[in-house]
Structure 1
Amino acid sequence: MAIVDKSRVYIQDVSLRDGMHALRHRMDLDRLREIVAALDDAGVDAIEVTHGDGLSGSSFTYGFGSHSDLDWIEAAADVAKTARITVLLVPGIGLARDLEDARKAGAASVRIATHCTEADVSRQHIKVARDLGYDTACFLMMSHMIEPAALLEQARLMESYGAECVYVVDSAGAMLPDDVSARVNALRGGLKPETEVGIHTHENLHHGVANAVAGVRAGAVRVDGSLAGLGAGAGNAPIEALVAVFDRLGLKIACDFVKLASAADQLVRPLMDRPVRVDRESLVLGYAGVYSSFLRHAEKASDDYGIPTTDILVELGRRAMVGGQEDMIVDVALDLAKAERAG
C-alpha cells in the first residue's frame, strides 16, 4: 500500500472507473495495464478501477463490462508499483462480499458512494471495508441537490460509521466554485480534524478544474481527475490540466503533468468513440443538474424513440432523477414520444 504524505494534495485518477461510462464499460486488459503503468509512473496516489457503476455494476441496466471487475483489478494491481488500486461500491449495486473479493484481487482503497441524502445505507459497507483493512472513503453523489448544512449531516453519518474521508461529489457538473466552497467549508468545519475531505468534479459547465481548485482552497485534500477528462458526461476534471494548475498555484503534489499529458494523448484519446467534451448535450447535463452517466443512456433512448437527447435530459432534470434510476430514462423518452403524438 502506498504511503501517503498528509502534507500534500492526494491525487486520485478515475479514468478506469468514471471513464468506463464514456467507453460503455469496454476496456481491454492490455490497454488498462498500459494506462495504469503510465499513471503510476506519473506519480498519482491512487487509481480507481471498476465498472463505471462500481463493483457488480455490470448488468443490463447499467451496461455489461467487457471484463469482470476482478479481472480489471488484478490486471491493475499486477502493474502498479506505488499507487493504491481503488474500487467504487454503490450499496444496492455492490455487495459486502464484493469488497472481500476485490481486496483479494489487489484493491487497497474503496470509495463507498450513496446519493447525497442516503448516507445511512453505507453503514454496513463502511464497517466491512474497515474490517478488511481498506483505506475507506465515501462519496456523497449529486451534492448540488442539498444545502451545505444538510450535506454536513450526511457526512457526519458516514464519519460515525468509520469513513476516513468524505467527498463532495458534483456528479452532474452543476456546481460553480462558490457552491463547491460552501459545501467543502461546511464539511471541513463540521467533521473531525482527522477526517479528510475530498472533491470530485465534472466538466459539464466547463468548471471541473476551477471547482477542484475551489475545493482545495476550502480544505479538500483528496482530488479526482482523469486522463483527457475521460468520464461521464463532459468528463471529469482532466487530471493533466488539474496537476498543471496545482503546480502553477504552488500546491504540493507528487505528479508529473507532462507524463500525464502524454498518457492522455497517446493512450486515452484514441479510445474515445464519442469525444469527451462540453457540447450541447453534456452542457445540458450541467445546466439541468442531471447525473452525468445518464448521457449515453439518453442518447440511446433518443435513437430508439426519436426524441432529442436534450429533451430527455431536461425532463430527467425536471423530475430530479438520480443515479440508480437509469431504467427511468426509457420511460421518460416514451412519455415524451406519447406527448408529441398527442400534441
Structure 2
Amino acid sequence: MSRPTPSPRHIVIQDVTLPALRSRFGHEALSLLARALDGAGVDGIVLPAGDWGLAGLLADDGLRAVLSLPVEDVMAVERARTIGIRAIRVPVGNLELAAPIIAAGHEAGLHVTALPIDGHLHCPGDLARQAQALEGFGASCIHVVDAVGVLDMDGVAARLRAFDRLLSPATERGISASHDVSLAVANALVAVQNGAVRVDAALAGGTNPLAHFITAATRKGWRHGCDPQALTQVAGMLGCGPINPEFVKERAA
C-alpha cells in the first residue's frame, strides 16, 4: 500500500544525543541538556540504555523521555511504566528473543519502537518480513536501521516500500541513519518521503545531524515542531564547556 509524501503531517523528532554524551557529562548536565532540547521542540529524548537514574529525573520533570531496554529485560517494562516512562525502544537482533518484551510493552500501554539492528544487512523483502513479525508482537513503530552507514537513498526507500507491502498503515515507520559520507540527512529525508514519521537525529555523535535535518525538512515545508535557531543554540552549549543552566531556563520558559 503506497503512502503519500507527508508534507502536511507532523514528523516526530527523537533526539539521540544523550547516549552519545554519557561518557562526557553527568546526570545533572544531561538533564539540563534534555530540558533545553525539549524547549527547542524535540518530540522525544532517547536515554542511554539502562540509565534509570536519568530516566527518573526526566520523568519527574515531565519530559518526553524514551528509554532503551535490552530484549532480555522484560521485567524492566513495568519498572519503566511505574516511574512515568511512556515510550521504550528495543534493539532487535533476534526475533524470538524480542517477542516477550515487545508484547509486555504493548500490554502495558507503552509506545514500543522496535529497531532491527542489522536491517542494513537484509534485503528489503526479508527485513519487511521481520517487521511484520515485530508488528505482530505489538510494536508501535519499526525503524529502518542503518547502524554502520552503508545504505544510500535507494536502499532506504526500497526497505520502506517493502514495509508498505506487508505492514498495517497504523504501524508507524521510522529511520535511524548513521552519519557516513554525509548521507544521513539525505537518507532521513528519503525515509520521510517514503512513509517514515519518526526520525532519529542528534546534536552530537554518529547519527543523522539534528540541526541539518531540521533545516532541510523546514525547506520542504514539513511540520516538525522544532525551532532551528534554538537547536543551533543548544548545539553551541556542547562546545562551550559546562552546560549553562540559565540558557536552559530561558529555552524552557
Q: For this structure pair, what is the TM-score category when the shorter chain's length is used for normalisation?
A: 0.7 to 0.9
Tell me how far apart the structure 2 counterparts of residues 185 and 88 of structure 1 sit (CA, whole Å).
26
Q: Deviations over 1:302-343 (max 9, x none)?
A: xxxxxxxxxxxxxxxxxxxxxxxxxxxxxxxxxxxxxxxxxx
Aligned to 1:31: 29
Per-residue CA distance 1:276-327 (angstroms, 9 max, x = gap):
xxxxxxxxxxxxxxxxxxxxxxxxxxxxxxxxxxxxxxxxxxxxxxxxxxxx
The Cα shift of 1:263 comes to: 0.6
Q: Does structure 2 retain, via aligned residues, the 8 Å contact 1:12–1:224?
A: yes
Structure 2: gaps of 5 or more residues? 1-7, 242-253
User: Which amino acid in 1 is paired with 2:195?
Assistant: G
d(CA) in 2 for partners of 1:13, 1:190: 28
Show the counterpart of 1:264.
235
Question: 1:269 aligns to what SS in structure 2?
Answer: coil
Kept in 2, the 8 Å contact 1:70–1:105? The answer is no
Where 1:16 maps in the other structure, the secondary structure is: helix
Residue 284 of structure 1 corresponds to none
Query: 1:86, 1:110 within 8 Å by CA — same for their partners in 2?
Result: yes
Corresponding residue to 2:17 among 15, 18, 21: 15
How far residue 132 of structure 1 moved from its aligned partner, in angstroms, is 1.9
Match of 2:179 in 1: 203
Matched position secondary structure for 2:16: strand
Q: Name the count of aligned residue pairs.
A: 235
Q: Residue deviations 1:95-123, cap 9 Å, x none?
A: 112222222233110111112xx223211
What letter matches 2:168 in structure 1?
A: K
CA offset at residue 33 of structure 1? Answer: 1.6
**CA deviation after TM superposition for structure 1 residue 80, in Å:** 4.1
Q: How does 1:268-279 map to 2 (within 5 A)?
A: 268-270=238-240
**Is residue 9–residue 222 contact of structure 2 (8 Å, CA) maintained in 1?**
no
Given the alignment, which residue of 202, 209, 230 partners 1:226? 202
Write the letter of the residue equivalent to 1:27. Answer: F
Which residue number in structure 2 is paired with residue 153 of structure 1? 129
Deviates more, 1:36-45 or 1:96-105: 96-105
TM-score (ref. length: structure 2) = 0.87
Q: TM-score, normalised by structure 1?
A: 0.65
Separation of aligned partners in 1, 2:53 and 2:44: 18
Does 2:58 match 1:76? yes
Q: Aligned to 1:46, which of 44, 47, 61?
A: 44
Of 92, 95, 98, 1:119 maps to 95
1:107 aligned partner: 85
Find the aligned partners of 2:105 and 2:113 in 1 and give their Cα distance.
Answer: 10
2:151 corresponds to 1:175: yes
Deviation for aligned residue 1:30:
1.4
For residue 87 of structure 1, the aligned residue among 52, 67, 71 is 67
- Structure 2 residue aligned with 1:337: none
* CA displacement 1:234-290 (0-9 Å, x = unmatched): x11111111111001111111111111111111x2357xxxxxxxxxxxxxxxxxxx
The two structures, once aligned, show a CA RMSD in angstroms of 1.8
